[in-house]
Amino acid sequence: MRKPMLALICLLGGCWFAAQIWLVMPTGTVSGQEKSKSKASKKKGSTSVLDVKANEIQDGFMKSAEELAAEYYDLKEYDKARTLLKSIQALDPNRPNLDAKLKKLDDDLIGSNEIEMEVTSSRGWDTTAVMVGAGKPIRIKAVGNYKFVVSSQLTPNGFTAKSATPTPQDLVSDLPIGALIGIVIPTTVQQDEKKKDKPFLIGEGCDYTSQKDGVLFIRVNAPPENKNTGKIEVTISGGVKVGK
């Protein structure tokens, strides 16, 4: 009689123990999940607050920059106003009316800050002493007539071009002979020729944007032994300044 009773007690005890484990385990697991969710929510919540603050700071900066740009514009400090608007564009390219403001500013800038000079038609590359800023559009206008005179001995190949650098003063093969041309020489010497700006056609006028800070050189595209006579009046405006 004792053995069946003992077996029954053991069975009941085992069931009770299993029941306790079943009851405890889910509760512990759920509690752990709740704690994890709580930590994640808390972390997410704190990040959201920081994001809101960051957006407020950025919006405040852009609003202040726009107001300051407008003040510079009123004082005709177009270059400084453009720098501020470009900084806003870097933060928010889709900001309302920003593209229109930059376009108007560039139109005003390129027609301002005029520098006048003369180009002697018989000379080779001649520095204008005008500094050009990287990414800043400039406008060049040229008026006047000159006499193109050469006494070179030519072969059936005609004129040949050798170099587009300031010296020697040879023809630039892919630009019209006799035309006014320009080139921007970087203020920092570049060993890699591919990084230098190429000569560009000016003619009676052009708009040009250099990819580097540098000095503007201008000349008539003629061989070095030319006997040209006459001068060309040149006006340069936009993102330029007279060098020292």
Tell me the pLDDT tens digit for each residue of 128-187: 889 998 888 899 999 999 999 987 777 787 776 655 554 556 788 889 999 999 999 988
* Number of structural domains found in the chain: 2
Are residues 128 and 99 part of one domain?
Answer: no
Are residues 227 and 122 part of one domain?
Answer: yes
Q: What is the pLDDT of residues 7-30, one digit of tens each?
A: 444 444 454 444 444 444 544 444
Q: What is the pLDDT of residues 100-133, one digit of tens each?
A: 999 998 888 888 889 999 999 999 888 888 999 8
Residue 89's pLDDT is what? 92
Are residues 225 and 125 part of one domain?
Answer: yes
**Burial degree of 95 (CB within 10 A; 0-12, 13-18, 19+):** middle
Where is the domain boundary, 82, 110, 138? Answer: 110
Residue 239 near residue 80 (C-beta atoms within 8 A): no
Q: What is the span of the domain harbouring residue 185? A: 115-242
Residues 6+ apart with CB under 8 A from 230: 121, 144, 145, 146, 147
Which two three-digit tokens encode residue 191? 């060993």
Are residues 133 and 210 part of one domain?
Answer: yes
Are residues 168 and 105 part of one domain?
Answer: no
Residue 78's pLDDT is what? 86
Answer yes or no: pTM beyond 0.75: no
Are residues 66 and 140 part of one domain?
Answer: no
Residue 5's pLDDT is what? 46
Q: What is the pLDDT of residues 46-105, one digit of tens each?
A: 788 888 888 899 889 899 999 999 999 999 888 889 889 999 999 899 999 999 999 998
